[in-house]
Amino acid sequence: MSRNGCLLCAPLVAESVDEMLSQMRVAKKNGADVVELRVDYIQGFAPEMDLPRLIRGRVLPVIVTYRPKWEGGNFEGDEVFRVKALRKAISLGADFVDVELQVAAEFLECSTPERKDSSSRVVVSNHNYKMTPSLGEIGSLIARIQSIGADVVKIVTTAEKVTDVARVFHAVVHSQVPTIALVMGPKGLISRLLAPKFGGFLTFGALGVGQESAPGQPTLLQLTQMYRVDRMDRDTKVFGIVGNPVGHSKGPIIHNAAFQEIGYNAVYVPYLVDDMREFLEVYSGSDFSGFSVTIPFKEDALRCCDEVDPIAQAIGAVNTIIRRDGKLIGYNTDCEAAISAIEDALRGKKVDTRLKNR
C-alpha cells in the first residue's frame, strides 16, 4: 500500500476467468494495491463456479463489480441473478463488493446474513455520465450514500470543463467517510492523478492502453512511474501545463523526472483548459504553484497575471506562471530558449568548419 493511504487499483476487464487471474498477477507486478474484478466483462460468467476461483485465487485484495448496463456496465440479465452473485462474493470473503446506489439500500438489507460473517466492505457507487453536479449536490450525494450504510462512498462524474474537478476535490477533502471521487474524460484526468493529495480512498490505473474500464483512465505504469502517485501526499506541490490540446505534451515526462531526480515533493500534470481566466480563478490555492502555458493561451496568460516580466511584456505573451506571495507572476522563457538554440547551433557550425579545415 502506498504511503499516503490512497489505494492504487487496476480494473481487470478480461473476458475469461483464466485471463483475469493472469491480469491480476501482472497488476501486482506493476504496483497495484488492489484490483477490481469487472465480472460483467467475463463471457458466460457463472458466479457459483467462477467467483470461488477468482476470490480464492487472488494475489491482491479484490473489489468485485458486476456492473449493469443501466449504470454503464455490460450486464443485461436478470437483476435478481446479479444481486445474488454479489451476495455470493461477500460470503466468499471478497475484500470489497461494489453495488450501485440505485439498489444499495435493498441490497444491504438483504445481504445482512452474508455480511455478518464476512469481512467484506461494501462500496456504494454512483455514476453520472453527463456532467459534474454543483458542490452542494455532490455533498448531498455523499451524505445520502453514507446514510445508506456504505463502508466506502464512490462518486464518478463527467467533466465538461477542467474546473469541474475542483468541486470534487473539495468534496473529498471534507468527506467524513472513505471516499472514491473521480471525474471521467480528458478534462477530468487530474482527478485521477491528484486523488492521493486530496485524500481519495482509491484511484484507478488501467493495465494498458485499451484496457480502461472508464473514459480518461491513465495506465497503472503512468501513475506509478511518471506521476509517482504512491509517493504523493497532502504537501505535494502541483505544477502543470495549460493548453488545448495538451495530451501531446512531453512536459509531464520531463518535469516529473526532474522532480524525482532532485527529490522535490511536486508533481506536474496536464490541464485541458477552455478558459484561462476561469481556470486560474478556480485553481487559486497555494498548492497549485505554477503553470507552463502553451497554445492557445499565451496571450491570455499575460492579461491574467498580476505582474509580468519586462521581456514577456515586450513580447506580448507569457508561457510560464509562478505563484509567489499570492500573486501570479508571468515570464516568457521561449525567447531565451530560442536564442540559446541558435547560439548552440552556431557554435556547432564553427566547430564543424574547423574540423573540415584540418
Q: Which residues are catalytic?
A: 127, 154, 298, 334
How far apart CA 5 and CA 251 sit, in angstroms, is: 27
How far apart CA 117 and CA 163 sit, in angstroms, is: 44
Reading the block at residue 183, the C-alpha cell is 471525474
Residue burial 245-262, b: 16+ Cβ < 10 Å; e: rest: ebeebebbeebbeebeee
Peptide bond connecting 218 to the previous residue in cis, omega within 30 degrees of 0: no
How far apart CA 329 and CA 320 sit, in angstroms, is: 8
- Name the region of 232 (left: φ>0; alpha: ψ -120 to 50; beta: rest): beta
Contact 127, 99 (CB under 8 A): no
Contact 104, 128 (CB under 8 A): no
How far apart CA 140 and CA 146 sit, in angstroms, is: 10
Reading the block at residue 166, the C-alpha cell is 475542483
Residue linked to cell 507572476 = 329
How far apart CA 95 and CA 172 sit, in angstroms, is: 22
Terminal alpha carbon distance of the chain: 62
List the beta bridge partners of residue 239.
Answer: 268, 290
Reading the block at residue 295, the C-alpha cell is 497554445
In the 8-state DSSP scheme, what is residue 199? T
Whats the size of the chain, residue-wise? 358
How far apart CA 224 and CA 196 sit, in angstroms, is: 12
